[in-house]
Structure 1
Amino acid sequence: MKHLYTILFLLTGLLSATVSQTRPDKINVILMGSTHFGQEGFYKQGPSMDLFSPGRQKEIADINKQLAQYRPDMILIEREPSEQHTVDSLYNLYTSGKLQFAQLSYGRAEQYQFGYTLAKQLNLPQVYGVDFYSSLPTRLMRDGKNLDKFIEDLNKFSNLGRSFDQQLKDGQLSLKQYLLKLNAPETLQATYYNIYINPARVTDGSFGKADKTVDTARIDKSHIGAEYISLFYNRELKIYSNLLSLQQAHQSKRILLIMGQRHAAVLSKILEDNPDFNLVPLSSYLK
Structure 2
Amino acid sequence: MTGKLHPTVQSKKKPMKKICILIGVVTLIFSCKNEKQTITEEKTVSPISEISDKQPVIAILGTFHFANTSDYSAIVLEDGFSPKRQKEMKEIVAQLAMYRPTKILVEREPSYTDTLNLQFSKYLNNEFELPINELYQIGFRLAKKLGHKKLYGIDKHMNLGDEDLVAHLNKHGLMDSFSTTIKNASTYGKKHTAYLKEHSIGKTLITINTKEGEDFNRNLYLDHILTSSELENAPSITYVTNWYKRNIHIKHNIDRITEKKDRILVIIGAGHSAILNDFYRNSNVIQYAEITDYLTDE
Coarse TM-score class (shorter-chain normalised)? 0.7 to 0.9
Shift of 1:151: 4.1
> Is 1:112 aligned to 2:140, yes or no?
no
Deviation digits for residues 161-191 of structure 1 (CA, Å, limit 9, x no counterpart): 221012213xx22111111111111111111
Shift of 1:240: 0.7
Q: Give the letter aligned to residue 224 of structure 1.
A: P
Structure of higher CA gyration radius: 1
| Structure 1 unaligned residues grouped into runs of 5+ | 1-21, 102-106, 206-220
Secondary structure of the 1:49 match is: coil
Using the alignment, how far apart are the partners of 2:236 and 2:190 within structure 1?
A: 25
Q: What residue in structure 1 maps to residue 290 of structure 2? A: 281
Secondary structure of the 1:55 match is: helix
Shift of 1:89: 0.3
User: Which residue of 169, 187, 208 maps to 1:159?
Assistant: 187
Q: Do the aligned partners of residues 88 and 23 (structure 1) sit closer, same or farther apart at CA in structure 2, a change above 3 Å counting?
A: closer
> Is 1:246 aligned to 2:257, yes or no?
yes
Q: Do the aligned partners of residues 151 and 29 (structure 1) sit closer, same or farther apart at CA in structure 2, a change above 3 Å counting?
A: farther
Deviates more, 1:59-68 or 1:155-164: 155-164
Deviation digits for residues 59-84 of structure 1 (CA, Å, limit 9, x no counterpart): 11111111101100010001111011
Q: What residue in structure 2 maps to residue 94 of structure 1? A: 123
Q: Do the aligned partners of residues 48 and 269 (structure 1) sit closer, same or farther apart at CA in structure 2, a change above 3 Å counting?
A: closer
User: Which residue of 84, 87, 92 maps to 1:63?
Assistant: 92
Do the aligned partners of 2:61 and 2:291 also contact (CA within 8 Å) in 1? Answer: yes
User: Which residue of 192, 201, 211 maps to 1:175?
Assistant: 201
Using the alignment, how far apart are the partners of 2:280 and 2:111 within structure 1?
A: 23
> Is 1:231 aligned to 2:242, yes or no?
yes
Q: Do the aligned partners of residues 97 and 284 (structure 1) sit closer, same or farther apart at CA in structure 2, a change above 3 Å counting?
A: same
CA RMSD of aligned residues (A): 2.8
Q: Do the aligned partners of residues 119 and 140 (structure 1) sit closer, same or farther apart at CA in structure 2, a change above 3 Å counting?
A: farther
Deviation digits for residues 74-109 of structure 1 (CA, Å, limit 9, x no counterpart): 1000111101110110010011222221xxxxx110
Secondary structure of the 1:30 match is: strand
Do the aligned partners of 1:157 and 1:191 also contact (CA within 8 Å) in 2? Answer: no
Q: Do the aligned partners of residues 29 and 158 (structure 1) sit closer, same or farther apart at CA in structure 2, a change above 3 Å counting?
A: farther
Secondary structure of the 2:221 match is: helix
Superposition pairs for residues 14-93 of structure 1, below 5 Å? 25-39=54-68, 41=70, 49-93=78-122
Shift of 1:195: 1.4
Q: TM-score, normalised by structure 1?
A: 0.75
Shift of 1:147: 6.3
Using the alignment, how far apart are the partners of 1:127 and 1:237 within structure 2?
A: 20
Q: What residue in structure 1 maps to residue 281 of structure 2? A: 272
Do the aligned partners of 1:66 and 1:286 also contact (CA within 8 Å) in 2? Answer: yes
What is the aligned residue count?
239
Q: Give the letter aligned to residue 112 of structure 2.
A: E
Using the alignment, how far apart are the partners of 1:84 and 1:181 within structure 2?
A: 30
Do the aligned partners of 2:221 and 2:240 also contact (CA within 8 Å) in 1? Answer: yes
Q: What residue in structure 2 maps to residue 126 of structure 1? A: 150
Using the alignment, how far apart are the partners of 1:52 and 1:137 within structure 2?
A: 36
Do the aligned partners of 1:145 and 1:203 also contact (CA within 8 Å) in 2? Answer: no
Q: Do the aligned partners of residues 135 and 52 (structure 1) sit closer, same or farther apart at CA in structure 2, a change above 3 Å counting?
A: farther
Shift of 1:200: 2.8
Deviation digits for residues 15-59 of structure 1 (CA, Å, limit 9, x no counterpart): xxxxxxx986332211111112124559xx9x9623221111111
| Structure 2 unaligned residues grouped into runs of 5+ | 1-50
Using the alignment, how far apart are the partners of 1:229 and 1:133 within structure 2?
A: 15
Shift of 1:196: 3.3
Q: TM-score, normalised by structure 2?
A: 0.72
Using the alignment, how far apart are the partners of 1:76 and 1:121 within structure 2?
A: 15
